[in-house]
Amino acid sequence: MAPKKPQSEKEKSAGPSPRGKNKPLKKIGVLTSGGDAPGMNACIRAATRAGLAKGLEVIGIMRGYSGIYEKQFIEMNSRSVANIVQRGGTILESSRCDEFMTAGGRAKAAGILQNEGISGLIVIGGNGTYLGAAGLCAESPIRVVGAPGTIDNDIYGTDFTIGFDTAVNTALEAIDRIRDTADAFHRVFFVEVMGRKSGYIALEVGIAGGAEEILIPEQSIDPETLSQTLRESFARGKRSSIIVVAEGNETGHTIEIARYVQYRLKLDCRVCVLGHLQRGGAPTAKDRVLASRLGTAAIDGLLDEKSGYAVGEIGGQIMFTPFAEAAEKKKPLNTYSLNTMKVLTL
Ligand code: F6P
């Protein structure tokens, strides 16, 4: 459900309507919602400490939007976020909350927050998190700023999302290992990575892992063409092949594709689904730094009339994008990377 109509140009420049939003902020909540991503803890830490430094009272809300209804509120101080910058997962835990996706549910949540004296929120998550936040901002006096936490990197308005770099490196380590065994047996391996609607992880891992092909939601390759490409590459002397498959790819179910190719090529094919492995683990330096910058910038945004916006980093600069745009606009895949991938498989 899309709870908020996109803002007009006038609304965008003026910021969301006041209705109590111009009162000084005293107490804010921080939550993580949707699929967890490595680096969320670094972002919680940054938002908490930056908020405290600005004289705000900071409340950690457990289990995403669900924690508002459950009143799972934790008073945060700078020690509450000690020793977490290096940890995967999220100390605030997460959920996907259907109730918050309805206007009635959001009105109830806004009432609970107001009763607690919480007038601002930092939400760390992906598209679903942003859509809920857009509704809350439009329908209540609660001010909200978002930070992009998802391994999928499918958020418009930021070059990278928090967790993407770690997920790519985790998948890459697995692919390097798979290459060893694939080579030993002259096999074709189909390695499924996450990405329900986006091929970002597959493309990045495909280039870094020297994959022969990637199957992604943004483009479709029929299994016969894929078989032909692989046949040619084996004819050129390759001993093994790795095909990186995004879970939401257009070609079909990974096991079905592998069966088809095995039948057509008379070559041994194997499937390896990396799944939730990619969601855990210590965040890379790149993710920790990104999360720290975005968590701090989210607090600045909350104090600076940027309610209704998601923070991101584009070309090294902090940028703010309205929630609806950040959640719904499709971030295009880098076509230069796609071409690079094709050339390098020769
Ligand atoms: O957070 C995004 C994502 O990692 C997708 O790539 C994947 O499809 C989805 O989460 C799976 O999430 P869950 O198993 O938590 O529903």
What percentage of the chain exceeds 70 in pLDDT? 94
Top mutation candidate among 98, 164, 194 for ligand 1, by most atoms within 8 Å of CB: 194
Ligand 1 proximity of 275 Cβ (cutoff 6 Å): no
Indicate if ligand 1 lies below 6 Å from the C-beta of 247.
Answer: yes
Q: Is 152 a catalytic residue?
A: yes
Q: Is 19 in the pocket of ligand 1 (CB under 6 A)?
A: no
CA of 35 to the centre of ligand 1 (A): 5
| Torsion angle defined by CA atoms of residues 51, 55, 59 and 65, in that order, rounded to the nearest 10 degrees | -50
pLDDT at position 21 is: 62
Indicate the pTM of the whole model: 0.93
Residue of the CA atom closest to atom 13 of ligand 1:
35
> 219: CA distance to ligand 1 center in Å?
20
Out of 152, 154, 165, 287, the active site residue is: 152
What mean pLDDT is predicted for residues 211-222? 94
Helix intervals (H) in the chain: 9-14, 40-53, 66-69, 103-115, 127-139, 164-185, 200-208, 223-235, 254-265, 285-303, 323-328, 335-344
Which tens digit of pLDDT belongs to each residue from 46-75?
999 999 999 999 999 999 999 999 999 999
